[in-house]
């Protein structure tokens, strides 16, 4: 009957389909079903290309601080201890340190690179080695004439000032306002440390040797800043290995004749002297490699400013190990230096995410 009149009975599921269409078309039917439990929400995870990695500037500053400044702070006290126990001359200490740089020749041979570097950068690499040998030789001689903390202060302060002046001359290597504030603060801290000592140079019969010690420390800092600038300009895949090996060669060529002409060789006999010599060589090698790496990642002036941590470590060892007096001005200046290092490091901390740099 229904078929004859043109009506058909509703098919199974027809009413549900119609209600579903009405729910999908009418806005009042688009409400969430609170009777069904919702799936737990999970925070979106960063993919491998979205994760935050330290930028090159951050890597350079951290390597300069932890691998360059802190180990170098032990070099001065160990040098002084070797001189006090066995009267080990500075040229002999430099010669022992340069011997540890010669094994880099094996790494260069395994890589198939020339020992003296590519012909186009060979001259600059040799100049870098000469400047570093001059800087280290002046530093080792200065710590035998003036207190360790003051010698390290003058050397690091002069290197920072010279690097900042070179930054003004080279407009391609600009610094931000925070960087300049950190540099001025660290230099001010160094002046606070060494200022009272400079006012008493005229007292006593050793005033001439004290002036000579400070002059050697200043020349060492000047040579260090020039050496870092030269190394930054080198363009070679194996420049780090090359300059490390050349430092050992040039250092031996300068220290061996100078040892027998200007000074008297001494053979250490007690274990303390040998331990100091080995410690100086290893720690200085670690600092050399880390500073050379850091200067390719960030500005040389910032690297020199972060290396002021060497002064703080040297002052601590001067007081707790060598039992030498540390003035209140030294503590105040060390605090200013640490604050400046924190400012420079915090301002340059950044990360890289998806090819962009985020502060």
User: 194-212: per-residue pLDDT in tens?
Assistant: 777 666 555 554 667 777 8
Report yes or no on 319 lying in a domain.
yes
Report yes or no on 30 lying in a domain.
no
Burial class (CB in 10 A: 0-12, 13-18, 19+), 314: buried
Report yes or no on 184 lying in a domain.
yes
pLDDT of residue 6 exceeding 60, the answer is no
pLDDT of residue 357 exceeding 50, the answer is no
Please report the beta strands in the chain, taking only residues with DSSP state E, as ranges in sequence order. 53-54, 351-353, 356-358
| Confidence (pLDDT) at 10 | 53
When comparing pLDDT for 313 and 6, which is higher?
Answer: 313
DSSP H/E element including 300: helix 300-306
Report yes or no on 177 lying in a domain.
yes
The domain of 312 spans: 56-83+120-240+273-354
Tokens 């360790």, located at residue: 148
Q: Which of 301, 346, 282, 24 is nearest to 169 (CA)?
A: 301
CA 77 – CA 326 distance, rounded (Å): 14
pLDDT of residue 104 exceeding 80, the answer is yes
Report yes or no on 323 lying in a domain.
yes
pLDDT of residue 129 exceeding 70, the answer is yes
Q: Which of 69, 51, 48 is nearest to 60 (CA)?
A: 69
| Greatest mean pLDDT range, 160-169, 217-226, 297-306, 325-334 | 217-226
Give how many domains the chain has, as a whole number: 1
């Amino acid at each position: 009957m229904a078929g004859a009149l043109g009506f058909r009975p509703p098919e199974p599921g027809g009413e549900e389909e119609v209600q579903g269409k009405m729910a999908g078309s009418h806005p009042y039917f688009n409400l969430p079903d609170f009777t069904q439990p919702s799936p737990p929400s999970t925070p979106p995870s960063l993919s491998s290309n979205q994760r935050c990695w330290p930028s090159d500037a951050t890597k350079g500053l951290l390597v300069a601080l932890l691998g360059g400044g802190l180990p170098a702070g032990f070099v001065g006290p160990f040098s002084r201890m070797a001189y006090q126990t066995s009267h080990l001359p500075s040229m002999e200490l430099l010669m022992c340190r340069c011997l540890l740089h010669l094994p880099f020749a094996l790494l260069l041979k395994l890589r198939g690179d020339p020992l003296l570097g590519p012909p186009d950068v060979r001259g600059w690499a040799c100049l870098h080695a000469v400047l570093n040998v001059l800087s280290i030789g002046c530093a080792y001689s200065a710590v035998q004439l003036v207190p360790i903390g003051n010698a390290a202060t003058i050397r690091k302060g002069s290197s920072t000032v010279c690097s900042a002046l070179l930054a003004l001359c080279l407009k391609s290597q600009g610094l931000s306002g925070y960087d300049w504030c950190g540099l001025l603060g660290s230099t001010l801290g160094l002046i606070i440390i060494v200022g009272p000592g400079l006012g008493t140079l005229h007292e006593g019969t050793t005033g001439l040797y004290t002036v000579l010690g400070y002059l050697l420390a200043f020349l060492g800092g000047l040579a260090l800043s020039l050496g870092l600038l030269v190394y930054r300009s080198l363009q070679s895949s194996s420049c780090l290995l090359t300059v490390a090996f050349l430092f050992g060669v040039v250092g031996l060529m300068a220290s061996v004749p100078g040892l027998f002409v200007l000074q008297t060789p001494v053979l250490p006999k007690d274990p303390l002297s040998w331990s100091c010599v080995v410690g100086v060589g290893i720690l200085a090698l670690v600092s050399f490699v880390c500073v050379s790496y850091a200067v390719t990642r960030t500005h040389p002036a910032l690297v020199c400013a972060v290396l002021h941590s060497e002064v703080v470590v040297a002052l601590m060892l001067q007081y707790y190990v060598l039992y030498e007096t540390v003035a209140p001005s030294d503590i105040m200046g060390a605090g200013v230096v640490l604050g400046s290092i924190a400012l420079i490091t915090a301002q340059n901390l950044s990360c890289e995410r998806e090819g962009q740099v985020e502060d």
